[in-house]
Amino acid sequence: MTRRTTKFTPRAATALLVVSVLAAGCTATGRERARSAREGLQEAHDRLASARTGAERARDELDVLLTTSGADLAPLYDAFDESVAALRDEARAVARLPGQLRARGDAYFERWEAERAGIQDPKLRATSAARRAEAMATYDRAVTAMTSQQPVFDALLSLLDDARLALGNDLTPDGVDAVREVSGRVAQETKAVGERIEALIAEVEAVGAALSTSVPAG
């Protein structure tokens, strides 16, 4: 009798890994889902702070380029160009945050509801429902705020791109003079970006505090 063997291809291995991950996700406890939601909030906080720093860096690199004299402009332009590209990547990452947070939040609150149904005491089950609704409203407020602020970098990136393109074709003292007036508007847009990000960070911190496992002192 010939024994039949199954060929274990890379595609089959990938499929098995996907199934394993999905199975692990289905068995995650409410506590694990809550931890994942908190970790997502911390990641969002760090990403927003990084994006704010990126905006300030691009502004500063432009200022250096526009105010330097007696030096080769090429390396200064390269540093500015690199900072704009990095900020664009940061902006894309920030734009993905609402969807990422929504996915983690949905998983957490769906698990909460499923496990709440197993509570036998009617009063405690009702209290858990009220707490879930309160936590979900707080979480949703942060996600909604972040969604409404997705174009936060658009005006700044537009100005920076205009300066980058203009200087890329005319990297001369006269070319720098022609672009210098944009510096003030870039500063204003950078300030606006910083203020919006501060507001979003405040929302994220509020949700993080509401879901924190730490007991306040006093």
What are the per-10-residue average pLDDT scores of the chain (218 residues)? 45 39 53 88 94 97 93 96 97 93 92 91 94 92 86 93 96 95 96 94 89 69
**Rounded Cα gap, residues 13 and 10, in angstroms:** 5
Q: Is residue 122 part of a domain?
A: yes
Answer whether residue 20 is part of any domain.
no
| Amino acid of residue 172 | T
How far is Cα of residue 103 from the mean position of the Cα atoms in its chain?
A: 13
Put simply, whether the predicted model's pTM sits higher than 0.75 gets the answer: yes
DSSP 216: P
- In this prediction, residue 194 carries a pLDDT of 95
Helices (H), the chain: 10-26, 30-67, 73-116, 122-148, 154-169, 173-179, 182-210
pLDDT score recorded for residue 74: 96
What pLDDT was estimated at residue 22? 36
- Residue 216 is predicted with a pLDDT of 64
Asked if residue 21 belongs to a domain, the reply is no
Query: Domain span at residue 102?
Result: 30-210
| pLDDT (0 to 100) of residue 3 | 46
Residue 218's pLDDT is: 60
Structural domain includes residue 94:
yes
Q: For the chain, what is the domain count?
A: 1
